[in-house]
Amino acid sequence: MELSAEYLREKLQRDLEAEHMEVEDTTPNRCASSFRVLVVSAKFEGKPLLQRHRLVNSCLAEELLHIHAFEQKTLTPEQWTREQQK
Amino acid sequence: MSGSLGRAAAALLRWGRGAGGGLRGPGVRAASSGGSGSSEHLDALVKKDRVVVFLKGTPEQPQCGFSNAVVQILRLHGVRDYAAYNVLDDPQLRQGIKDYSNWPTIPQVYLNGEFVGGCDILLQMHQNGDLVEELKKLGIRSALLDEKKDQDSK
């Protein structure tokens, strides 16, 4: 399995029906072992932060075994809209 | 102050080096009973203190930027009395706590015996004010409240 920002983006987008995604490879030398993701999905509505993060974690359970560091931000479409207006 | 910031920066720099080290194969999986990675042991551990954190490194010397962030957030809130366990000292603990909480990463934060989340979640709770409320439920008054009052009264 080839880990890449593009790969993670596609998988998250598909499984979580994300309407907006940002995936950044935060490894200093871009060796794809650290990532930062932003996922905007209606699936997060009504769910506390912990549950949202668990959704992302279980979507990427296999990949996370090979990822050293993983940062995530999970927003509902409404929160995302507000965030952009700031 | 500059000393502790320097240490934090050093911890961030050191952090890259351990890449991949945490995810060894099934050899380090905790035994199902007994030992530092057993769920019975961990259950007792997270319930023993009101605030419990599992870190890479120690509060004095975090070995990873995310663990350092957790330490700094607790410090900001004036939480001094908490139990910290260094997973780098104990591979069984390191894997066991991940299995216990079904959470793939370290650091991990527990309040009143309950898993709260990792660094991202604690940071967001800090930013949106939830952490002050959660600490209040534990009978811990966040130092940020006093700071705010000082500012208000000025």
pLDDT of residue B34: 60
CB B93 within 8 A of CB B54: yes
- Using the 8-state DSSP alphabet, how is residue B81 labeled? -
The residue type at B152? D
For chain B, list the domains and their CATH numbers: 37-150 (3.40.30.10)
Q: Give A69 to chain B, closest Cα distance, Å.
A: 8
Contact in structure between B141 and B133 (CB atoms under 8 Å): no
In chain A, residues with a C-beta closer than 8 Å to the C-beta of B18 are 68
pLDDT on residue A3: 85
Provide the token pair at A77: 């479409």
First to last CA, chain B: 25
The predicted pLDDT at position B12 comes to 37
* pLDDT of A74 over the 50 cut: yes
Task: Output the pLDDT for position A28.
Answer: 76
In whole angstroms, give the CA distance from residue B93 to residue B85: 9
- Best probe of the A interface among B120, B124, B125, B130, by most A CBs < 10 A, is B120
Per-residue pLDDT of chain B (154 residues; tens, 9 = 90+): 444 444 444 433 333 333 333 333 333 333 344 688 899 999 999 999 999 999 999 999 999 999 999 999 999 999 999 999 999 999 999 999 999 999 999 999 999 999 999 999 999 999 999 999 999 999 999 999 988 777 666 5
Q: Which residues does residue B148 pair with via DSSP β-bridges, in sequence order?
A: none
Nearest to A68 among B20, B118, B124 (CB): B20
Q: B104–A57: do the CB atoms touch at under 8 Å? A: yes
In chain B, residues with a C-beta closer than 8 Å to the C-beta of A55 are none
Distance from CA of B16 to the nearest CA of A (A): 8
Contact check, Cβ <8 Å, B116/A65: no
What count of CB pairs under 8 Å joins A to B? Answer: 44
Spatial distance between the Cα atoms of A75 and B10, rounded to a whole number of angstroms? 32
Shortest Cα distance from B20 to chain A (angstroms)?
Answer: 6
pLDDT confidence of residue B152? 66
A15-24 as b/e: b if 16+ CB within 10 A: ebebeebebe
Comparing CA positions, the residue from B111, B113, B107, B110 lying closest to residue B94 is B107
- Which pLDDT does position A30 carry in this prediction? 60
